[in-house]
Amino acid sequence: RKEVEQDPGPFNVPEGATVAFNCTYSNSASQSFFWYRQDCRKEPKLLMSVYSSGNEDGRFTAQVDKSSKYISLFIRDSQPSDSATYLCATAPYGNNRLAFGKGNQVVVIP
């Protein structure tokens, strides 16, 4: 079983909508969670880190439900510039390794 599962999409959403991405993870020992943004043919860039139940930065909110092993990312008032692939990651191994999901691809349509 994979450590982190994501539905790859793509998800097409209209500009201004709230977008929600979800990941599930398998190892209950995970205490740190991350969302990365990856543009086409570019490297992933760290978007948000979550060390408790949630984090918020502008239009972006990340939440973790540890009882369900569920990680969520919300983008409010989505913009065409938000179009990208969003990868979630956890730290389940007890060392510095991360487990990554395959990513959610979103296209925000003007």
Residues in contact with another protein by CB under 8 A are 8, 31-32, 34, 41-46, 49, 51, 87, 89, 91, 95-98, 100-103
Q: Which is nearer to another protein, 20 or 99 (CB)?
A: 99
By the 8 A CB rule, do 86 and 103 touch?
yes
Q: What DSSP state is assigned to residue 31? A: -
Q: How far apart are the first and last CA of the chain?
A: 38
Q: Which is nearer to another protein, 41 or 110 (CB)?
A: 41
Q: Residue 17 CB, nearest distance to another protein (Å)?
A: 26
Q: Which is nearer to another protein, 28 or 31 (CB)?
A: 31
- Residue 46's contacts (CB-CB under 8 Å, 6 or more residues apart) are 34, 35, 36
**Residue ranges in the chain assigned as alpha helix (H):** none
